[in-house]
Amino acid sequence: MSETKICLNCHNPIKGRADKKFCDDSCRSSHFHKQTQDELFLYKRIHSILRKNRRILMQLFSPDSSKGSVPKTELQEQGFHFDYHTQEIRKGKNCLYACYDYAYQEINEREVVLLKIR
Ligand SMILES: [Zn+2]
């Protein structure tokens, strides 16, 4: 009993060898092209979130440390995504969350301190 194989690209039944995954070369290349496009779209989407996060940190960062903490809501209002960062840097009990060369550290539930890390 052989199961009918379905083309991974066009979803039509495949005729021929049992190990075939595509009808033909054009279905094969179109499948891998779509896969690459999906990956590029994913990278682009996440990169734009990280880039935006970094810009927000950069704009709110002040080298004058006397400025102190920034409310999280101020970051959120500008479109900051707290779920996305490039690194976690542990410093004892504390953790810095970096987006490239800027980072924030939570000082309580509502406020963060911003840092430039390199
Ligand atoms: Zn096909």
CA of 7 to the centre of ligand 1 (A): 5
Residue 50, Cβ density class (10 Å: 0-12 exposed, 13-18 middle, ≥19 buried): middle
Query: pLDDT by residue (tens digit) across 30-40?
Result: 999 999 999 99
CA of 13 to the centre of ligand 1 (A): 8
CA of 37 to the centre of ligand 1 (A): 18
The predicted model scores a pTM of 0.78
For 41, phi then psi, to 5°, come to -65, -45
Of the candidate ranges 21-30, 63-72, 76-85, 86-95, the one whose mean pLDDT is the lowest: 63-72
Alpha-carbon distance 103 to 61, whole Å? 9
Alpha-carbon distance 14 to 79, whole Å? 48
For residue 34, the model assigns a pLDDT of 96
CA of 96 to the centre of ligand 1 (A): 49
Residues 6 or more apart in contact with residue 1 via CB below 8 angstroms: none
